Chains A and B, each alone.
Chain A
Amino acid sequence: MLRKEQNDLLCQTGPGTPMGRMFRASWQPALLAEELPENECPPVRVKLLGERLLAWRDTDGNYALTDEFCAHRGVSLWFGRNEHGGLRCPYHGWKYDHTGQCTEVPSEPSESGYCQKIKLKSYPLVERGGVLWTYMGPPEQQPPLPEWEFAMVPASHSFMSKRLQESNWLQAMEGGIDSSHVSFLHSGELNSDPLFKGSKGNQYNMNDMKPVFEVVESPGGLYIGARRNAENGNYYWRVTQYVMPAFTMIPPRADHPVHGHFWVPIDDENCWAWSFDYKVTRPLSDKERKAMEAGQGIHVAYVPGTYIPTANKTNDYLVDRKAQKEGRTFSGVFGIAMQDASLQESMGPIVDRTKENLVSTDNGIIMARHRLLRALKTMENGDMPPGIVAAHQHVRSAAVVLPPDKHFKDAAKEALVVQTGKEHVTV
């Protein structure tokens, strides 16, 4: 359990909040590059960390992420005309460039320089790995661009999707490091999903339903090792990575692409669940890419024209009680992502953690909260939170079989960081 003040502290990410400051200290995925496919394309509304923004791309291809509302009388610039190097408000014709600077106020004589006095708040927006990233913190503290491995491999090697999750970011993120739910909630998928099945590790998973866990602090967050029995007295380890505040990476299975998530607050009651998949040394196969596009693995199928999952709360997640009875899906919901999302949304927009009864296997979650709260404390003294420097981003999850006396953090030292040109260590 968490006290109410602590829960509020971790869940609230709007402007001026401590947790909001942590999110604003590093680059966050804002939208997919495919959402702004060409110069002068329609602008896209983006809400992040409780701020209403507008993403757009000008005549010269500059990306812009500006205040959504016109400085004149507050019209949404989503209706703006994207033309000749700027976005023009359709109401009275004020025009802005990609930095948010107003360049024309038609009612005023241009000599007056009135427009110079008008500037919309704007944040940098940069493409990397098919994602448009933004940094919403103080400009003088802007860190170098993110170097997460999935964003650094060639485009043909990776796939990124996002889906709307109607819950606070923390309960979504906590699902990403909650290794003990996999053998229950997702048991159906381990052997049927094309992006999961057929790995030796799955056998270990199913043969040993009671894994033993080791939670170890890492420089940027946590390693969560789940240990199961393998042959000859060895241990099968699955090591999940958590990097603060909101990056989680699932251990690999066989030669399948490796996947992970960002859990980025839209506001305190909604978040984007970003899901990536990639291989280091080979392009994704057609089959893999098709499966991902079709919403398999950790991805979802969408309501056309949106990033809202087809199975969502308005249709009771298409729950199939017969399939549940027959054991085809544990919860009645199909698909890994929606199995998680349906349950996390069912907790309510912000779960009341004062009512929890955590058990020993929840130490991964307890430690993540502890690290976040600790980082918030050190930020009060002017320290940078973890997760910003490249070294914290050059991480990998791993699946390894090790002799019983080996500590995974040492034995798998190399497996847990990016090895240029080499695949993940996997079973």
Chain B
Amino acid sequence: MQSESARMSSAAEARFRIDAPNSKPRSVKVIALDEPSERIVKELSQRTWNRAAFFTASSFGGTPKQGESFSGWLSDLAGRTKNLIEEVNSADLVVMVAAAGENAQAASIIGEACSLKRVTTTALVLGGPSISDEALSKTLSHLRPWALMLVIATAEDYIADMLTALRA
């Protein structure tokens, strides 16, 4: 008699895989860290997504000073300010997008908020082959401490591919 593994791994049996959703939508928050990325993220936000939301932190560089809070630290792409902690709190994944060579300092604020709320972070660095190693290293050094996954991509459309792959 055929073993169970042999029978069940056949193409004929594969047809019986249950055709029902095996996940619920997840909330992916994509945050541009600088102006070049903001442009890309803006374009992305025009497409249809399940639950992805897009933000920018490009005009927020430093840590809020004493007395200030995170309440107005982030903005959506229409320019409305958002509360970083709240946004992170309701995210399943935070994706930070940075252009190679740009100052990615905002990553530490976002990263800190994510580690506080135990939210996974992914950082995506976009940069063509023309970007110098030093420029890239600078951006990376800001991101590395805060990203559990760091991707350096040469093509802009990688973000869209990644978000689609993640069902964002």
User: Chain A interface (Cβ within 8 Å of chain B)?
Assistant: 1-2, 166, 210, 212-217, 269, 313-317, 342, 345-350, 352, 355, 357-363, 366-367, 369-370, 373-374, 404-407, 409-410
Contacts and interface: CB of A to CB of B under 8 A. Distances in A.
Contact of A360 (B17, B133, B148): B148
Contact of A1 (B150, B154, B155, B164): B164
A345 B8 CA distance: 10
Contacts of A213: 148-150
Contacts of B148: 210, 212-213, 360-361
A373 B164 CA distance: 14
Contact of A363 (B2, B22, B141, B149): B149
Given A212-B149, A405-B141, A410-B133, A358 B9 contact: no
B74 to A, nearest CB: 20
A166 B9 contact: yes
Given A346-B5, A349-B9, A363-B122, A407 B151 contact: no
Interface string B4-27: 111011110110010000110000
Interface in B119-168: 120-122, 133, 136-137, 140-141, 144-145, 147-155, 158, 161-162, 164-167
A370 B158 contact: yes
Given A357-B167, A358-B165, 20 more contacts: A214-B149, A214-B150, A215-B149, A215-B151, A313-B5, A314-B3, A315-B3, A347-B9, A348-B13, A350-B14, A355-B17, A357-B23, A360-B149, A361-B148, A363-B149, A367-B151, A374-B155, A404-B145, A405-B141, A407-B133
B93 interface: yes
A328 to B, nearest CB: 20
A360 B149 CA distance: 6
Interface residues on B, range: 35 or more
Contacts of A1: 164-165, 167
Nearest to B167: A1
A404 B13 CA distance: 49
Interface string B80-110: 0000000000000100000000000000000
A321 to B, nearest CB: 13
A358 B133 contact: no
Contacts of A358: 165-167
B5 A367 contact: no
A2 B5 contact: no
A363 B155 contact: no
B5 A317 contact: yes
B122 A314 contact: no
Contact of B14 (A352, A357, A367): A352
Nearest to A3: B164
A420 B2 CA distance: 50
Given A355-B22, A407-B140, A360 B152 contact: no
Contacts of B165: 1-2, 358, 362, 366, 369
Name, among B4, B17, B93, B121, the residue most crowded by chain A CB atoms within 10 Å (CB to CB).
Answer: B17
Contacts of B150: 212-215
Contacts of B158: 367, 370
B14 A349 contact: yes
B9 A345 contact: yes
**A-B pairs with the 10 shortest C-beta distances?**
A348-B14, A313-B5, A313-B6, A360-B149, A366-B165, A214-B150, A216-B152, A215-B151, A370-B161, A360-B122
A316 B122 contact: no
Contacts of B153: 217, 367
A316 B3 contact: yes
A347 B8 CA distance: 9
